[in-house]
Amino acid sequence: MIVSIVSAIIIGAVIGALARLILPGRQNISIGLTLIVGIVAALIGTAIAGAFGLVNTRGINWWEHIIQLALAVLGVLLVVQMQARKTH
């Protein structure tokens, strides 16, 4: 249980950071919020990959990570847009 929580945090941090790098321009969101978006995207991405039978235990599961990254990009976009609406 502890190992899966720690791995979700690590994968979430990497996924969140990659999502911010993929998006053009500057995103005015905190590192903590990026981490939260990445963790949520990693957990939901794993659930979606599992539902479609794309989760395997051998090697790197590229499909799972692609789904996680796509969700993180969408999540960062949503957070940036929500914060932009708050300031205007």
pLDDT of 12-29, one tens digit each?
A: 899 999 999 999 888 888
Number of domains in the chain: 1
The residue type of 44 is: I
| pTM more than 0.85 | yes
- Alpha-carbon distance 7 to 22, whole Å? 22
Owning domain of residue 36: 2-87
pLDDT given for residue 55 in this prediction: 77
